[in-house]
């Protein structure tokens, strides 16, 4: 139950960009082939494991259905995730969610370029049907850094719908840094985990900062081409270095916000260590600190 409502322990005056929250990388890729699968759980299952920031990439089938995608690989229909989100909002009444929703980037294989496309009107219709952005998307702000978690709760809104083009109804284009370096993310785990925290020095954000803690297999990198699951197996024994580096470096801890990974429902380890950083940042309601820590 704790991981469904952990945000209820966070002080109202904490800026949403200072809350440390688990994120899921390529949130909608369950059941895809091994080279494209980054998550095993549904969006609801990820929520139940503590995830509050969701990376949702979409495309359209030849039949006109909007689906989850990872490069050229297509997965479940988007409606299935929207149903999950609706249930998350019901079962986590004190939780605030970040949904990064967009078309998948164009993919190139040799001389061929595969373009993704999602019809904006259809997207707006689907989202309004299931998750009602007109009622629940938080848009009333000028500077996201000044928005506290209490501001969102007290407004009756439930989530921020981020799209860098603001192309969907009630979506917002706000500062959102999501750094990825094919060389660094392709290093062997022992080196990778030491370089990941340095992203806080190399990149600055005037809003959300999503730190990606999963390696990526690419041609010509140290790890080469490997499935996300294999890479997750390789990096898990070393992830403690990242959490400790953030905890023990004041400027990293200050910038810590979204920390996203693969296979977030494999166990509670990633979410537990990420959420625990809120204790170090003094984000937890004072008289609930002991209870918060015991539940982790």
Domain of 121, in residue numbers? 2-6+15-295
Quick one: pLDDT at residue 109? 56
Per-residue CA distances from 122 to 118, 126, 132, 240, 281 (Å): 8, 6, 14, 43, 41
Quick one: pLDDT at residue 223? 87
* N-to-C CA span, the chain: 11
pLDDT in tens, the chain (296 residues): 899 999 999 999 999 999 999 999 999 999 999 999 999 999 999 999 999 999 999 999 999 999 998 877 888 999 999 999 999 999 999 999 999 998 766 656 566 666 778 899 999 999 999 999 999 999 999 999 999 999 999 999 999 999 999 999 999 999 999 999 989 999 999 999 999 999 999 999 999 999 999 999 888 889 888 999 999 999 999 999 999 999 999 999 999 999 999 999 999 999 999 999 999 999 999 999 999 999 99
Axis crossing angle, helix 120-130 with helix 78-91, rounded to the nearest 10? 30
CA-closest candidate to residue 26, choices 95, 77, 101: 101
Domain count, the chain: 1
CATH code of 211's domain? 3.20.20.190
- The maximal CA–CA distance of the chain, rounded, in angstroms, is 60
Strands 258-261, 21-24: pairing kind: parallel
């Amino acid at each position: 139950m704790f991981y469904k409502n952990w945000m209820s322990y966070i002080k109202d005056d904490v800026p949403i960009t200072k809350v440390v929250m688990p994120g899921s990388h390529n949130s909608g890729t369950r059941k895809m082939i091994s080279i494209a699968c980054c998550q095993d759980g549904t969006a609801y299952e990820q929520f139940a494991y503590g995830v509050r920031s969701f990376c949702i990439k979409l495309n359209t089938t030849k039949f006109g259905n909007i689906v989850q995608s990872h490069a050229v690989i297509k997965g479940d229909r988007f409606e299935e995730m929207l149903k999950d989100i609706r249930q998350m909002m019901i079962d986590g009444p004190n939780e605030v969610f970040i949904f990064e929703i967009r078309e998948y980037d164009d993919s190139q294989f040799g001389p061929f370029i595969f373009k993704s496309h999602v019809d904006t009107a259809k997207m707006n219709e689907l989202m309004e049907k299931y998750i009602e952005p007109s009622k629940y998307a938080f848009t009333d702000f000028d500077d996201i850094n000044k928005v506290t978690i209490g501001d969102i709760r007290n407004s009756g809104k439930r989530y921020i719908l981020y799209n860098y083009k603001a192309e969907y109804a009630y979506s917002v284009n706000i500062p959102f840094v999501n750094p990825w370096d094919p060389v660094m993310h392709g290093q062997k785990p022992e080196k990778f985990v030491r370089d990941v925290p340095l992203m806080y020095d190399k990149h600055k954000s005037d809003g959300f900062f999503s730190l990606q803690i999963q390696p990526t297999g690419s041609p010509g990198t140290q790890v080469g081409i490997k499935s996300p699951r294999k890479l997750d197996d390789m990096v898990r024994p070393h992830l403690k270095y990242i959490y400790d580096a953030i905890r023990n470096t004041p400027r990293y801890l200050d910038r810590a916000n979204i920390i996203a990974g693969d296979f977030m429902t494999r166990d509670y380890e990633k979410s537990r260590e990420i959420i625990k950083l809120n204790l170090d940042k003094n984000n937890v309601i004072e008289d609930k600190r002991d209870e918060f820590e015991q539940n982790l």
